[in-house]
Structure 1
Amino acid sequence: MADAEQLRSEVSEMGDVRGGVLRTAVDLARPGVRSPRETRLRLLLARNGLPTPEVNADIFDSRGVFVAEIDLAFARWMVAVEDDGRVHAEDERQFARDADRWAAIRAAGWDHVRVLKHHLRDGGAPAVALARDALVRAGWRPGLSAHVC
């Protein structure tokens, strides 16, 4: 596996294609992302003026006990955004564990936003609105630096 600097070096040495698409892709990539859907959601939020979230961030409660790993975390505002593909929806025990996890995230003081498939329709406007509303409730205002987590 190559890190971002190694990829940038390779692009510089070998050349880019179609107006810098490789360089742009390296700049947009984040290490540790677990799925293409998470990446699409992160880029959707960023393209719509929201701050840059931390990917796969750990949440701890007030005693320092691990609560959950979050797809996209806006730690400064304690807003957790997750792509919820509902892959476990048919498994009753897994769904119960998920529901307990969601409650634990909220109990740790975080606003938990679950983005479902239907929120990504129409260009993702509903998903952006959910995340934006949670950030505004937490004190973020449009125009603040988009690169502050």
Structure 2
Amino acid sequence: MPLSRLERGDLTVVTRGVRVVTPPASLQARAAAFAAAMRREDHAFSHVTAAILWGLPLPTRVEGQSDLDVVWSTRRGRVRRDGCIGHRGLESRAVSDHLGLRVTAPADTWCDLGEVLRRGLTRDDLVVAGDAVANLLGTDPEAEPVHLMAESLHRRVRPRGKVMLTEALALVRPGVRSPMETRTRLMFHRASLPEPELNVPVMFEEGGWMLEGDFVWRRQRVIGEYQGAHHATIRQRGVDHSRRLLAEDDGWTFLELFADDVFTRSRRIATLTRLGATLGVPAGDLHLW
């Protein structure tokens, strides 16, 4: 292609050495364009960029960053390109081929989030992302997700954010299916309530499958269900009502939980007090805030 064609205004320069007819509309497309300008074996997408590519839930304030995180080997130094945030240490990270790109593996991606706490991540955000990583790693029946994440963290030499990562890892649990389920579970933890089983089958007293509960306290026969936006339709409300009746007819206490029960102080205190009484936790033993 002659230089005169490359300099025409209908082409967009994504990064040095790469031009496209249509500007990339997604982070994946932008990463693919940058990857075309770099030798494949020299780099991997990491940190926040890798987390988004893996589908890890992050706060909007963090997901909205414009620059791509790219890690190179220490001997080559940091990548220096407009639109990239360069990192070193590729040799100490596992790399996966994901979406046609070289991306740091899920456990290492989670560890790297400790380096970007200044972008607005909290410990709860790390637990939310950690639950998602544990689910990704848990697709292998032989895997122990939290153990694999701990191994990745322990391989690092003086990693940034290690204290907060270690605290968050102790709270990571496989089996959570949404960020709000994680935040609801953390609410129970802070209140010193017994830890529930997560998304497990509940059987009828006489045997046979009844339902799958988000939060199950089997000994106390209590089921907690987080009702997200997809539960708002009339059809889904009907399904939820039938499940509740089945559980209550079989002697279970069935509690519906909503976002305001987590984020609004008055609702949170009322919810935790009610749940504590149902679980047999004395009011004086609850930590309310």
User: Does TM, normalized by the shorter one, top 0.5?
Assistant: yes
* Partner in structure 1 of residue 33 of structure 2: none
2:245 equivalent to 1:130: no
Q: Is the 8 A contact 1:45 1:128 kept in 2?
A: no
**Other-structure match for 1:100:** 242
Q: Which residue of 280, 284, 289 corresponds with 1:139?
A: 280
Q: Quick one: distance in 2 between partners of 1:6 and 1:53?
A: 23
SS of aligned partner of 1:7? helix
Residue matched to 1:53: 196
Aligned CA distance change for structure 1 residues 59 and 80 (closer, same or farther; 3 Å): same
Report what 1:18 is aligned to: 161
Considering only CA atoms, is the larger Rg found in Structure 1 or Structure 2?
2
Aligned match for 1:115, one of 257, 260, 266: 257
- Would you say the 8 A contact 2:187–2:262 is kept in 1? no
**Equivalent residues of 2:211, 2:243 under 8 A apart:** yes
Structure 1 residue 19 displacement after superposition: 4.8
What CA distance in whole angstroms lies between the structure 1 residues aligned with 2:275 and 2:187?
16
Displacement after TM superposition at 1:86 (Å):
4.0
TM-score relative to the length of structure 1? 0.81
Q: 2:182 is matched with which residue: 39, 48, 55?
A: 39
CA displacement at 1:21 relative to structure 2: 1.7
Most deviating of 67-76 and 9-18: 9-18
Cα distance change on mapping 1:71 and 1:20 into 2, 3 Å? same
Q: 1:56 to 1:131 in 2, by over 3 A?
A: farther
Aligned length: 142
Equivalents in 1 of 2:160, 2:284: separation in Å?
Answer: 33
Bigger relative contact order (CA 8 A; separation at least 6)? 1
Q: Give, in whole Å, the separation in 1 of the partners of 2:248 and 2:171.
A: 29
Gap runs ≥5 in structure 2: 1-136, 138-142
Q: Deviations over 1:9-61 (max 9, x none)?
A: 11111144325122222211111111110110010111012111111122111
Cα offset, 1:135, TM superposition: 4.2
1:57-85 superposed Cα distances (whole Å, 9 cap, x missing partner): 22111121211111111111111112111
Equivalent position of 1:83 in the other structure: 226
Aligned-partner Cα distance in 2 for 1:11–1:120:
30
**Superposition deviation, residue 127 in structure 1:** 3.8
Partner amino acid for 1:129? A
- 1: CA distance between counterparts of 2:219 and 2:269? 18
**AA matched with 2:226:** D
Moved more, 34-43 or 92-101: 92-101
